[in-house]
Amino acid sequence: MAASTADVPALAGKLRAGDRATLARAITLIESKRADHQQQAHRLVQELLPDTGKAVRIGITGTPGVGKSTTIDALGTYLTAKGHKVAVLAVDPSSARTGGSILGDKTRMARLANDENAFIRPSPAAGTLGGVAAKTRETMLICEAAGFDVILVETVGIGQSETAVADMTDFFLVLMLPGAGDELQGIKKGVVEIADMIAVNKADGDNVKRAKAAAGEYRAALHILTPRSPTWAPPVVTYSALTGDGIDTLWQQALAHRQQLSAVGEFATRRREQQVKWMWAMLEDRFRLRLKTDAKLKARVPAIERAVADGTLSPALAVEEIAGALGV
Residues of the chain with CATH 1.20.5.170: 1-51
Say whether pLDDT at 105 is over 60. Answer: no
Say whether pLDDT at 98 is over 70. Answer: no
Q: What pLDDT score was predicted for residue 256?
A: 97
- Of the pLDDT bands very low, low, confident and very high (cuts 50, 70, 90), residue 3 is very low
Distance CA 83, CA 111 (A): 15
3-class SS shares of the chain: helix, strand, coil, % to 5: 60, 10, 30
Q: What is the DSSP letter of 67?
A: -
pTM to 2 decimal places:
0.88
Residues of the chain with CATH 3.40.50.300: 52-264
Select the CATH number that applies to the domain covering 1-51 from these four: 1.20.1250.20, 3.90.1200.10, 1.10.40.30, 1.20.5.170. 1.20.5.170
Say whether pLDDT at 223 is over 70. Answer: yes
Helix (H, G, I), strand (E, B) or coil at 170: coil
Contact 85, 144 (CB under 8 A): no
R_g over Cα of the chain? 22
Assigned CATH topology for domain 52-264: Rossmann fold (3.40.50)
Q: What pLDDT score was predicted for residue 284?
A: 83
Q: What pLDDT score was predicted for residue 88?
A: 95
Distance CA 144, CA 151 (A): 8
Residues 24-45 pLDDT 10s: 999 999 988 888 898 999 999 9
Residues 106-130 pLDDT 10s: 567 889 999 999 999 887 766 677 7
Say whether pLDDT at 268 is over 80. Answer: yes
Q: What pLDDT score was predicted for residue 74?
A: 96
Say whether pLDDT at 244 is over 60. Answer: yes
Q: What's the angle, vertex CA 82, arms to CA 13 and CA 78, rounded to 5?
A: 110
More confident residue, 267 or 103: 267
Which range is least confidently modeled, 237-246, 305-314, 315-324? 315-324
Distance CA 284, CA 276 (A): 13
Q: What pLDDT score was predicted for residue 62?
A: 86
Say whether pLDDT at 6 is over 50. Answer: no
- Of the pLDDT bands very low, low, confident and very high (cuts 50, 70, 90), residue 177 is confident
